[in-house]
């Protein structure tokens, strides 16, 4: 992954987290700086923990992606635990809803970006 792709991912995740924090989902983030820090923490946790939590793809294939979803929920909860200013009202439902919302909003933003900024390839 090149530096541009990492920066785009950081921006998309930051915007998604800001949107999520404005929705009534039980997820609170104290502004833009905390959203940027949360996006960085998400990136680090995804790079480090997701391969371990998903069994390097083996369990993910066997469970039809459920392991990846559970890993995302765990990473969402850990990010909130690690960053002051990123709060979850419920310790169980908020990370689940947050992981789903993050995946959906990230997908929508990426699709919009592809429409407006097509990549020659």
pLDDT digits (tens, 9 = 90+) for 28-62: 999 999 999 999 999 999 999 888 877 766 766 77
Structure tokens at 9: 């991912």
Find the range with the poorest average confidence among 7-11, 19-23, 41-45, 50-54.
50-54
Q: Give domain limits for the chain.
A: 3-110
Query: Taking Cα atoms as reference points, which of 54, 48, 92, 47 lies closest to residue 73?
Result: 92
**Mean of pLDDT over the chain:** 90
3-state helix, strand, coil in the chain (%, to 5): 75, 5, 20
pTM (two decimals): 0.87
CB 34 within 8 A of CB 64: no
Does 121 have pLDDT greater than 60?
no
């Amino acid at each position: 992954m090149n530096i541009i792709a990492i920066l785009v991912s950081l921006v998309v995740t930051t915007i998604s987290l800001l949107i999520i924090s404005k929705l009534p989902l039980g997820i609170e983030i104290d502004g833009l700086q905390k959203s940027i820090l949360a996006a960085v923490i998400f990136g680090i946790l995804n790079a480090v923990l997701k391969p371990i939590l998903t069994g390097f793809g083996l369990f993910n294939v066997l469970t039809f992606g459920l392991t990846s979803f559970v890993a995302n929920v765990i990473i969402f909860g850990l990010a909130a635990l690690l960053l002051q200013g990123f709060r979850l009202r419920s310790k169980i439902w908020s990370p689940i809803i947050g992981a789903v919302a993050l995946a959906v909003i990230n997908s929508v933003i990426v699709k919009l970006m592809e429409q407006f900024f097509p990549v020659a390839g």
